[in-house]
Amino acid sequence: MNTYDIQVQGMNCDHCASKVKAALNPLTDKVVVDLETKLVKVESDRSVAEFLTALDKAGYPGVQQVAP
List % helix, strand, coil for the chain (3-state, nearest 5).
Answer: 30, 30, 35
Q: What is the pTM of this model?
A: 0.91
Residue 16 and residue 10 in contact, taking contact as beta carbons nearer than 8 Å? yes
pLDDT bin (cut points 50, 70, 90) of residue 67 is low
pLDDT in tens, 7-62: 999 999 999 999 999 999 999 999 999 999 999 999 999 999 999 999 999 999 99
- Residue 65: per-residue pLDDT: 86
pLDDT at 68 over 70: no
Ordered structural domains, the chain, with CATH: 2-65 (3.30.70.100)
- Residue 66: per-residue pLDDT: 75
